[in-house]
Amino acid sequence: MPLPSASAPKVSVVCAWYNRADYIRDTVDSLLNQDFDDYEIVLVNDGSPDPRVREILDSYDAPHLRVIHQENTGFVGAIRKAIGNSTGEYIAVMGAGDASLPARLRVQAGYLNAHPDVVGVSCGMVEVGVSVEGKLSKPKDLGIVARDVTHEDILSKIHSPFSHGEVMYRRTTYEAVGGYRAFFRFTQDLDLWCRLTRRGAKFHILSDILYERRIFESDGIAADMQKHAAQITLAFMALQCAREWDRQGFDVIDVFGMQAGLFRGRSAYLASYLARIGVKYLKAGLIEEARFFADLSWKEYRTRQGRIVRSLIAMQEGRFSRPLVDAAFRFRKIKDPRQVRPIPALRQVRSF
């Protein structure tokens, strides 16, 4: 692992790559065309089975760019490898297939230089859809407003207040909290944001449009309902771990590692959220998907929302169900992700 030195760049751009060969040049060229020179790019090809990925990456001869080829380890293993082989004071993540506008690194690094109380910075962006056939939609300005994001802001919702690929953060804080955790196959960014913002640190979102995010229809998480469910559950796990750490200085993953999921506290909020996703699938006429999320919701916690969704599915299938009117009168929306049972196992743990 390289050690930072006096010659280390200000910014290390890190990128984990898997397939998406047709978009390599969009991403890499956007980074090589920055109006800022004090940076390096470390890109890890995470065992892409498409041979074009290696061919295209190896065709570059650029002093800023270093490519590492490895066997597939998944996103967390690849991004940790990229960071471990970089030396910059600031770490800038780069999403595979996305593009950074020329001013991105200069503006984000400048903001971190001027604001030592800010641990990381996001930015405004446009969003471009990519169809299965590879067609790009018209860029959509997301209308992002400049603001600070605190620890409590991040913990208040099940989704991150900003996406992952456009963020730049401080290496010292990243290393102090232990970096990305292998437990989080998905939502590893939300878990990291929760830990980076401990003890009063904050993020800042710039309104400047500095990034183009691609939404790939073919391989996004939303295209697979099981991945979608895992993403939601792991997002809640990240928030629960953050709350546990705030109360006692460690969390269930610190104690149980990859087995931590066995000790996750059940949540009425998560059950309610899963039930609402079931309703969305039901409205779209996707009964199997609706049942999948309704069953997950019911197993998580028996809420009124879950009862209603299960009844709606049963009615759709022509099966007998208890009357919806009775359930509807008892309907209660659970808004707060902090409404969760504590983790009993952690009460007995004094050291780890």
Residues 211 and 278 in one domain: no
1 within a domain of the structure (yes/no): no
Instruction: Tell me, yes or no, whether 24 and 171 share the same domain.
Output: yes
pLDDT in tens, 26-36: 999 999 999 99
At 155-177, the pLDDT tens digits run: 999 899 999 999 999 999 999 99
Cβ neighbours of 318 (radius 10 Å): 6
Write phi, then psi, for 221 (nearest 5 degrees). Answer: -60, -40
Question: What's the CA gap between 262 and 240, in Å, rounded?
Answer: 14
pLDDT of residue 236: 94
Please compute the mean of the pLDDT values over residues 136-154 and round it to a whole number.
Answer: 95
Kindly state whether residues 126 and 268 are assigned to the same domain: no
Count how many domains the chain has. Answer: 2
Task: Read off the pLDDT band of 219 (50, 70, 90).
Answer: low
Helix boundaries (H) for 168-286: 171-177, 188-196, 225-248, 252-256, 268-283
Nearest to 197 by CA among 170, 217, 164: 170
**Residues 284, 325: one domain?**
yes
Asked, for residue 5, whether it belongs to a domain, the answer is no
Tokens for 258, please give them: 């990859």
Last residue of a domain, one of 218, 248, 264: 218
Residues 6+ apart with CB under 8 A from 129: 136, 137, 214, 215, 217
- Give the global pTM: 0.86
Domain match, 204 and 66 both:
yes
Indicate whether 3 belongs to any domain: no
53 and 137 fall within a common domain: yes
| In the predicted structure, residue 8 carries a pLDDT above the cut 80 | yes
Res. 320: pLDDT tops 80: no
pLDDT bin (cut points 50, 70, 90) of residue 5 is low
- Output the pLDDT for position 311: 86
d(CA 225, CA 223) in angstroms, rounded, equals 7
Alpha helices for 59-187 (secondary structure H)? 75-84, 104-114, 151-155, 171-177
Same domain, 255 and 179: no
6 lies in some domain: no
Kindly state the average pLDDT of the residues 104-118. Answer: 98
CATH number of the domain to which 39 belongs:
3.90.550.10
Residues 81 and 107 in one domain: yes
The reply to whether 232 and 339 lie within a common domain is yes
pLDDT of 153 reads 97
Task: Examine residue 35 and state whether it is found in any structural domain, yes or no.
Answer: yes
- Which residues are within 8 A (CB) of 350 and not within 5 positions of it... i.e. 6 or more apart? none
- The pLDDT, as a whole number, for residue 136 is 86
